[in-house]
Amino acid sequence: MKKVLIVSYYFPPSGGPGVQRVLKFVKYLPEFGWQPVVLTVQDGDYPARDESLLAEIPQHTIVHRTKIFEPYRLYRTLTGKPANAPVDVENIPQGGKKKSLTESAAEFVRSTFFIPDARIGWYPYAVPQGIKIIRDEKIDAIYSSSPPYTTAVIARKLHRSTGVPWVAGFRDPWTGFLSTPNRWMLPRLIDEHLERSVFHDADAIEGAWRGILKDITSKVPTINRQKLLHFPNGFDREDYPAIEPRQNSRFTVTYTGSMYGKRNPRTFLQAVEGLVSDGRVDPRKILLKFIGRFGGEVRDMLQNSSLHDSIELIQYLPHSKSVEALLQSDALLLIVDEAGPGSDEIVPGKVFEYIGAQRPIIALAPEGAIAELMRETRSGSVAANQDIPSIQAAFIECYENYLYHRQNSEQDREAVKRYDRREVTRQLAALLDALRPRH
């Protein structure tokens, strides 16, 4: 069987949405003639851990774990944060929030020295191990999953050192994205140089949403467009247990994932508060469940809302439990970052998990990729983040369907099939086949 080296920071026991894409590739690639060999970190400083995902790694998968220097541990010490504090959800606050002197100093260090990101401490350990794996295992192709973008820099070095074909995978854009540090000129130029070199050297580049590929062509107009491919995220049918339909005692709307900064529930809460104030919604008959990791500003919004008695805030759940929560809901809430450059192109990976759950989706998103996906699959309603009346209309439709036991509109099952993880993996395998040298 042909072998592909997968370079990924996020791999079980890492939790969160970033790990699912690679984990499902590892699961299904052998069906298409490719044996994955994984290069990842040992004891990573993950934003979330999910030990249960270790059981999902196929039995015959070879996993190599190397050391890494994790600066966020030092960052927590310097800023007085708890040792287990999630740095990512507090690192991107809403505009206007002032940082302490210590946080500002730490941010300067991060933006100046950690290029392309704070995982660059993996590079000196991953590169020699990766070269050894390629030679010992007779690797036929390399696949890297970013972010963190350090994985692409590692894969670039492995590709240059061995000549093995390389597919660079991206779940988010690189420079200029909402999570990009505000760098001063010199580190910004270095970061942009690394980004362009990755785009130039990779034999193929795949993006989890089309906006990533548009971002690349805007940065490198001369790039060969034929090596840019869109492999969407998806859902795995095997993740959904058989659950008997039930009538919840309250109309239950569930959000799963992270929220921080510009991705927040402010307008959704305002919309529902308005419906309650107008007497159109009984707060005793609704339950708004927020499951995941949330920045302090978002937690304050939820706790200070007049709906607080109808809100349930749940910390990160293992993936299987999170999926069960979707299936036990009457509607699902999706929130895309507030309108800004490129926000119309953002497609969070969890939207496909929502689609797979076959529950109506209330999506707060600009007109663009999410709206097109909702229309294509007939999976829910879309309202602009600031459009309170449209948010209310979407909510009240699902609420009244619950009250009067009406069926929600049926999905387009053929359209939904396109986003099965097995099908997306088949596309990746075909790409690897095309890049592999013929002997």
- Average the pLDDT over 244-272 and give the result: 91
121: domain CATH number? 3.40.50.2000
**Structure confidence by residue, pLDDT tens digits, 73-93:** 776 666 666 666 655 545 544
- Average the pLDDT over 53-73 and give the result: 93
Query: Which residue, 391, 407, 317, 404, is CA-closest to 359?
Result: 407
Please check the confidence at residue 136 and state whether its pLDDT lies above 90: yes
**Structure confidence by residue, pLDDT tens digits, 166-200:** 999 999 999 998 778 889 999 999 999 999 999 99
Average pLDDT, the chain: 91
Q: Verify that 411 and 424 share a domain, yes or no.
A: no
Q: Verify that 157 and 299 share a domain, yes or no.
A: no
Q: Verify that 72 and 140 share a domain, yes or no.
A: yes
Q: Verify that 230 and 256 share a domain, yes or no.
A: no
Q: Verify that 222 and 107 share a domain, yes or no.
A: yes
At 243, is the pLDDT very low, low, confident or very high (cuts 50, 70, 90)?
confident
Task: Please tell me what DSSP assigns to residue 235.
Answer: B
Q: Verify that 426 and 395 share a domain, yes or no.
A: no
Query: Which residue, 273, 266, 253, 245, is CA-closest to 399?
Result: 253
pLDDT value at residue 88:
55
Q: Verify that 163 and 265 share a domain, yes or no.
A: no
Other C-beta atoms closer than 10 Å to the C-beta of 128 total 12
pLDDT value at residue 75:
66
- Average the pLDDT over 45-52 and give the result: 91
Q: Verify that 157 and 15 share a domain, yes or no.
A: yes
**Structure confidence by residue, pLDDT tens digits, 396-419:** 999 999 999 998 889 999 999 999
Look up the domain containing 37 and give its range. 2-234+420-435
Q: Lowest mean pLDDT: which of 70-84, 208-222, 233-247?
A: 70-84
The total of structural domains in the chain comes to 2
Separation of alpha carbons 376 and 12, rounded Å:
32
- Highest average pLDDT, of 75-84, 236-245, 268-277, 401-410, comes from 268-277
Please check the confidence at residue 373 and state whether its pLDDT lies above 90: yes
Q: Verify that 26 and 126 share a domain, yes or no.
A: yes
In sequence order, what are the residues at sequence separation of 6 or more whose Cβ sits closer than 8 angstroms to the Cβ of residue 394?
A: 362, 380, 381, 382, 383
Q: Verify that 165 and 123 share a domain, yes or no.
A: yes
Q: Verify that 271 and 224 share a domain, yes or no.
A: no
Q: Verify that 13 and 91 share a domain, yes or no.
A: yes
pLDDT value at residue 246:
75
Separation of alpha carbons 412 and 202, rounded Å:
36
Please check the confidence at residue 97 and state whether its pLDDT lies above 60: no
At 344, is the pLDDT very low, low, confident or very high (cuts 50, 70, 90)?
confident
pTM over 0.85: yes
CA dihedral 41, 42, 47, 50 (to 10 degrees): 110
